[in-house]
Chains A and B, each alone.
Chain A
Amino acid sequence: MTSRITSQVLDQDIPKGTSLWEDALVRLRKNRLSMIGLGFLVFIMIVCLLTPWIAPYGYEEQNLRLGAIPPSMQHWLGTDTFGRDMLTRIMYGGRVSLLVGFIATSVALLIGVTYGAIAGYAGGKTDAFMMRLVDILYALPFMIFIILLMVVFGRNLLLLFLAIGAVEWLVMARIVRGQIQSLRQQEYVEAAISLGLSPATIIMKHLIPNALGPVIVYTTLTIPNVMLLEAFLSFLGLGIQPPESSWGLLISYGVETMEEYPWLLIFPGLTLTTTLFALNFLGDGLRDALDPKASRD
């Protein structure tokens, strides 16, 4: 506890200290690829948010007489076999793809953080049992189970969110548990316990905020996985169903007609790949910035 006078002196002589977050931000800013990725993602998100107002054509607007035409001034990315504008389709598809990405990741985040925090805080036998369960689940072929779930309960969007989220929480739980376990040894947690705070409060107020760095990093890396999983299912015809659309579904239509109309495959494919690229670069950059110890694999 420094007296007021010394702290005033310090304020004048020494440059202001940087917090962990400021420091991380500086490091992230230096990573050009991550910043480009971030910029691209912000652009895509804004476009998808504003789609109903800025899309050049209506979602259901079709022109059968037009048929599939290559990119032109009227239709920047061409039209599909029903004469629907590809740019509009990709914009609306992006809304679904991004929505799945964010919601399913949130589900994974919620389950993973809660589970990992409880296991890490409880320690001992409870922890051993809970993490053993994660190990076992991790060994299971989840792709097969998602397909099974989609078959058994029908193909609806909500189930898709839950099913994908339920698969992706395992790694998150492991990361959070490791963090909480080491944080739990710190004096401030002991202080909180001796003040009589409940475990729930300690976890929520003191432990999770301090474990946030790795969680943010892993979340950024989970979103592309989730989006890929959605596209994969939609491609097989087991995910998003028409009239809804997503990038995965557009790619699967594109494949059917790629010989005659290659642009129907190329544009949605390019959009999906670029977005995944951007997310991965941002995730790598965040990892370097927030969690310098973690290895890049």
Chain B
Amino acid sequence: MWRFIGLRSLQAIPVILAVITVTFFLVRAAPGGPFSSEKAVSPQVQAALEAQYRLDQPALQQYISYLTDLVQGNMGPSFYYPGRSVDELIFQGLPITAELGLYALLIAVIIGSFAGVIAALKPNTMQDYVPMSIAMVGICMPSFLLGPVLVLVFGIMLDWLPVSGWGNSYGDKVLPSITLGAMYAAYIARLSRSGMLEVMSQDYLRTARAKGLPEYVVILKHALRGGLLPVISYLGPAFAALLSGSFVVETIFQIPGLGRFYVQAAFNRDYTMILGTTVFLSTLIVVFNLLSDIAAAWVNPRLRYQFKK
């Protein structure tokens, strides 16, 4: 197990390095510098600005300095918001996005696996069709449509919940969390249904029943562990998807999180911010994939042999 964790972690490092390199040079290649605005500035000011952001140095030099700074946890100043650093902006948005993502993930896992298991217990009956049809709707209904529809129904027509903000008024976290979690709940429902169906026909479940165990012990103790395995492996990619989903949800509900900052930075051509956020989010996703792989290997020892010769 430790060997697996060690070798799998080592794999993540070149990936993160590659992301940083590609992003850095892509952003460098972008047309139009951040200071090529309508206002003409005097050459001295231009030079001073370029020196401040190290734009006067050769690209390779800039890259090395950027990496050195990054290792020390310094992502440089924002191009768009003068006097604020990228780190500061990221860590301002991060807790909000993390909280939103956590609620969404909880909703997705709890509702999704519950629905999937319920459906798998009685396949091809109404108990299967109803939750799975709802899951299909969940998959086909994009968050940028579901969110506004929920706002329209529960926020405006019924006036039960606030339509925007985060932590400003009572209950304003409900709609964004549901909007973000719905699609993944649907995926998880389908995954856990097929996982459970596969496990339910295994011999060891017949053995468990033959031993005279009550049905709920058979399901909860024996079937769930194997049946929910696909869900565990899905959590890593789901986390990445949740992050990109937060771009939309935070825009709809005007939540000042990381996703909204990223979209804003893309509009403002705030290059250091784009670079910093991309590197940060990618690292986060790679780390989560790593954790999800480790969790899967912990539950299923066979996966650990990937690294054995």
Contacts and interface: CB of A to CB of B under 8 A. Distances in A.
Nearest to B19: A140
Contacts of A231: 142, 144
Interface string A230-256: 011001111000000000100110110
B23 A265 contact: no
A149 B26 contact: yes
Given A224-B140, A251-B145, A296-B190, A141 B285 contact: yes
A195 interface: no
25 contacts: A136-B18, A140-B15, A141-B244, A141-B282, A143-B244, A144-B243, A144-B278, A147-B266, A148-B278, A151-B30, A152-B29, A152-B30, A232-B248, A235-B144, A251-B148, A258-B148, A258-B151, A269-B149, A277-B136, A280-B140, A281-B136, A296-B194, A297-B191, A297-B195, A297-B230
Interface of A: 136, 139-141, 143-145, 147-154, 224, 228, 231-232, 235-238, 248, 251-252, 254-255, 258-259, 262, 265, 269, 272-273, 276-277, 280-281, 295-297
A297 B266 contact: no
Contacts of A151: 30, 266, 269, 274
A255 B136 contact: no
Given A141-B244, A236-B248, A258-B152, 15 more contacts: A140-B282, A140-B286, A141-B285, A144-B243, A148-B26, A153-B30, A154-B31, A224-B140, A228-B142, A232-B144, A255-B148, A255-B252, A258-B151, A265-B148, A269-B145
B139 interface: yes
Nearest to A278: B140
Contacts of A297: 190-191, 194-195, 230
Contacts of A258: 148, 151-152
Contacts, number: 114
Contact of A238 (B23, B136, B156, B266): B266
B111 interface: no
Nearest to A146: B244
A153 B29 CA distance: 9
Nearest to A132: B11
Most buried by B among A148, A248, A272: A148
Contacts of A148: 23, 26-27, 266, 274, 278
A189 B33 CA distance: 55
Q: Secondary structure at chain A's binding surface: helix, strand, loop or mixed?
A: helix
Contacts of B142: 228, 231-232, 272-273
A236 B251 contact: yes
Most buried by A among B31, B142, B267, B282: B142
A153 B30 CA distance: 6
A232 B247 CA distance: 10
A150 B266 CA distance: 9
Interface string B99-129: 0000000000000000000000000000000
B15 A251 contact: no
Nearest to B31: A154
Contact of B263 (A153, A236, A255, A272): A236
B262 interface: yes
Interface in B276-300: 278, 281-282, 285-286, 289
Interface string B4-30: 000000000011001100010011011
B98 interface: no
Interface string B164-197: 0000000000000000000000000011001100
A221 to B, nearest CB: 11
